[in-house]
Amino acid sequence: MPELPEVEVVRRGLERWVAGRTVAAVEVLHPRAVRRHPGGGADFVARLTGQTFGVAMRRGKYLWLPLEGRDLSVLGHLGMSGQLLVQPTEAPDEKHLRIRVRFTDDAGTELRFVDQRTFGGLSLHETAPESPEGLPDVIAHIARDPLDPLFDEPSYHLALRAKRTTLKRALLDQSLISGVGNIYADEALWRARLHYERPTATLTRPRSAELLTHVREVMNAALQVGGTSFDSLYVNVNGESGYFDRSLDAYGREDEPCRRCGTPMRRRPWMNRSSYFCPRCQRPPRLPS
DNA sequence: CGTGGCCCCTGATTGC
DNA sequence: TGCAATCAGGGGCCAC
């Protein structure tokens, strides 16, 4: 499933294959794929047709395509199963094709949003006031991600200290730090030898800095692997193909030996999903609240 | 207002 | 073998 590294690969693909192209026609094949668009499918089509895409931007797991000469962007989120593909116009429709964007040029390709589970979608939004990056207004509350050079580390630490919540919740809270999902949260916590239920307020400054380093390292490692395939015509690698699977140390490794100490890894139900951890390397907090 | 929990969706997998 | 239950999980939304 796409987290920050996968979305960045998609962004690079869009920058290469879609920037500067003008929209000739738009088809919305499933209403849920545009549910975040305030005016619905017909309005999405009407307002996007004739516009020209600028260079794709990304923050966390969101990406957006600015429209040239407008304070307006197409905002995209891949959800669990979304893909943005640049396909030859004659390629057969994917089973879960939700949105198609045709262009006025003769490059012979079109942009397709394919999404089996329809957790993701596209929508048009105004640019947030005074945002140099052209951030869409509806994601103005999303924090910068750990790979953003302007990520504010001292503020992040202070926010962690002030919260009355636990570590993994904080890692998944997109208003504190964006781009971290369930998989990379478990990976970073394992690398930092921290338990997912540890209260954030107990983290010292060096400890939170260390955690952040591990978050960045695991994301950069995934990005390196994912970055190998964006030469192709496809804008993204398949988020479900699992190219990073072999490199995972925690996620999905229930009962398998911890790669540090050999203790069987554990899985715990957590917020309708799972947390994987080493019971020896990642000791639970003394007073779980 | 901060925090935690529920639920949207579809296909693969598991269990009886 | 077939059908139902379970699981996957990002994030909006709502209740407390």
Residue A282 lies in a domain: no
Residues A130, A255: Cα–Cα separation, whole Å? 50
Residues A25, A58: Cα–Cα separation, whole Å? 24
Q: Indicate whether A85 and A169 sit together in one domain.
A: no
Asked whether residue A80, judged by its CB, lies under 7 Å from any atom of the DNA or RNA strand B, the reply is: yes
Q: Is the pLDDT of residue A245 over 70?
A: no
Q: Indicate whether A221 and A102 sit together in one domain.
A: no
**Which nucleotide is the nearest neighbour of A164, by CA and C1'?**
B3
Q: Indicate whether A84 and A161 sit together in one domain.
A: no
pLDDT of residue A232: 37
Query: With bands split at pLDDT 50, 70 and 90, how would you rate the model's confidence at A219?
Result: confident
Q: Which of A11, A58, A59, A61 is catalytic?
A: A61
Residue A249 lies in a domain: yes
Residue A211 lies in a domain: yes
Q: Which two tokens stand for residue A156?
A: 């992040």
In this prediction, what percent of chain A has a pLDDT beyond 90? Answer: 56
Q: Indicate whether A135 and A160 sit together in one domain.
A: no
Strand B: which bases are under 7 Å from protein Cβ?
A: 2-11
- The integer distance in angstroms from the CA atom of A271 to the C1' atom of B5 is 8
Q: How many CA atoms lie within 13 A of A245 on its CB side?
A: 9
Residue A17 lies in a domain: yes
Residues A206, A42: Cα–Cα separation, whole Å? 52
A153 is catalytic: no
Asked whether residue A259, judged by its CB, lies under 7 Å from any atom of the DNA or RNA strand B, the reply is: no
Q: Indicate whether A22 and A135 sit together in one domain.
A: yes
Asked whether residue A163, judged by its CB, lies under 7 Å from any atom of the DNA or RNA strand B, the reply is: yes
Q: Indicate whether A122 and A161 sit together in one domain.
A: no
In chain A, where does DSSP find H-type helix?
4-17, 40-48, 153-162, 167-172, 182-192, 205-226
**Which nucleotide is the nearest neighbour of A159, by CA and C1'?**
B2
Residue A144 lies in a domain: no
Q: Which of A139, A168, A184 is the last residue of a domain?
A: A139
Top pLDDT among A247 and A227 is at: A247
Q: Indicate whether A170 and A271 sit together in one domain.
A: yes
Find the residue closest to B5 using CA and C1' atoms. A271
- The integer distance in angstroms from the CA atom of A93 to the C1' atom of B16 is 38
Count structural domains, chain A: 2
pLDDT of residue A257: 92
Q: Indicate whether A218 and A246 sit together in one domain.
A: yes
User: Residue A268 belongs to a domain with what CATH number?
Assistant: 1.10.8.50
pLDDT of residue A64: 95
Find the residue closest to B7 using CA and C1' atoms. A272
Asked whether residue A273, judged by its CB, lies under 7 Å from any atom of the DNA or RNA strand B, the reply is: no
The A 150-169 residues near strand C by Cβ under 7 Å are: none
Find the residue closest to C8 using CA and C1' atoms. A273
Q: Indicate whether A38 and A111 sit together in one domain.
A: yes
Q: Which of A139, A164, A196 is the last residue of a domain?
A: A139
Collapsing DSSP to helix, strand or coil, A191 comes out as: helix
Residue A52 lies in a domain: yes
A273 is catalytic: yes
Residue A286 lies in a domain: no
Q: Indicate whether A101 and A161 sit together in one domain.
A: no
Q: Indicate whether A9 and A133 sit together in one domain.
A: yes
Q: Which of A139, A168, A183 is the last residue of a domain?
A: A139
Report yes or no on whether pTM surpasses 0.85. Answer: yes
What's the Cα-to-Cα distance from A186 to each of A7, A123, A152, A158, A253, rounded to whole Å?
A: 19, 31, 22, 22, 11
What pairing do the DSSP bridges indicate for beta strands A72-77 and A62-66? antiparallel
Query: With bands split at pLDDT 50, 70 and 90, how would you rate the model's confidence at A277?
Result: very high
Domain residues for the domain of A165 are 153-277
- Please state which of the ranges A66-70, A175-179, A235-239, A280-284 shows the lowest mean pLDDT: A235-239
Chain segment A78-108, per-residue pLDDT in tens:
888 888 988 899 999 988 899 999 999 999 9
Q: How many CA atoms lie within 13 A of A278 on its CB side?
A: 21
**Which nucleotide is the nearest neighbour of A184, by CA and C1'?**
C9
**Which nucleotide is the nearest neighbour of A272, by CA and C1'?**
C9
Quote the DSSP letter at residue A117.
Answer: S
pLDDT of residue A246: 59
User: Residue A71 belongs to a domain with what CATH number?
Assistant: 3.20.190.10
Among A117-131, A189-203, A216-230, A260-274, which range has the highest average pLDDT? A189-203
Residue A170 lies in a domain: yes
Q: Indicate whether A123 and A43 sit together in one domain.
A: yes
pLDDT of residue A240: 35
A168 is catalytic: no
A187 is catalytic: no
